[in-house]
């Protein structure tokens, strides 16, 4: 299965010049834990709820400071045509829960470990059902 089949495509973004409050407000409204930071159509960073807590709140910083001061700039991304298992391995390797999905240098979605976990549950259930159908219940 390809990432494009399970990724979220309606992704809100912020600019590096936006405030921490703006990013936190969007996260709250959408019930998400991260937002890609985009400038001139390019992903230049990602800001997570953890970034905000550790780099702003815990340090007593002004919540009106710019996202650029708290965002993570080393962004690992994936392509929509990558296999789900390959992306899961990449997440595990880099210990990342969410990845921007980039195609032709443009943000086209985001994939979270939760998206993959839900899909894996469906695959396991489908596999078990196929096994039961193929072999039947033997007494």
Predicted confidence (pLDDT) per residue in 57-104, tens digit = 999 999 999 999 999 999 999 999 998 888 888 888 887 889 999 999
Dihedral, CA atoms, 118, 119, 120, 124, nearest 10 degrees?
Answer: 100
Q: Within 10 Å of residue 60's Cβ, how many Cβ atoms?
A: 6
Q: Is 21 a domain residue? A: yes
Structural domains counted in the chain: 1
The structure tokens listed for 11 are: 């992704």
CATH of the domain at 64: 3.10.580.10
Tell whether the model's pLDDT for residue 119 goes beyond 90.
no
Q: Is 139 a domain residue? A: no
Q: How many angstroms separate the CA atoms of 133 and 37, rounded?
A: 47
Place of tokens 């899909």: 119
Q: Is 122 a domain residue? A: no
Structural domain including 49 reads 3-112
């Amino acid at each position: 299965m390809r990432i494009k089949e399970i990724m979220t495509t309606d992704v809100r973004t912020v600019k590096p010049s936006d405030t921490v409050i703006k990013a936190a407000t969007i996260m709250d409204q959408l019930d998400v834990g991260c937002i890609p930071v985009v400038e001139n159509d390019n992903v230049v960073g990602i800001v997570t709820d953890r970034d905000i807590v550790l780099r702003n709140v815990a340090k007593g910083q002004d919540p009106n400071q710019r996202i650029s001061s708290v965002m993570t700039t080393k962004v690992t991304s994936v392509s929509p045509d990558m296999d789900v298992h390959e992306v899961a391995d990449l997440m595990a390797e880099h210990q990342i829960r969410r990845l921007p999905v980039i195609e032709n240098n443009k943000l086209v979605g985001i994939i979270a470990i939760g998206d993959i976990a839900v899909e894996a549950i469906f695959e396991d259930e489908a596999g078990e059902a196929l096994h039961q159908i193929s072999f039947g219940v033997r007494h």
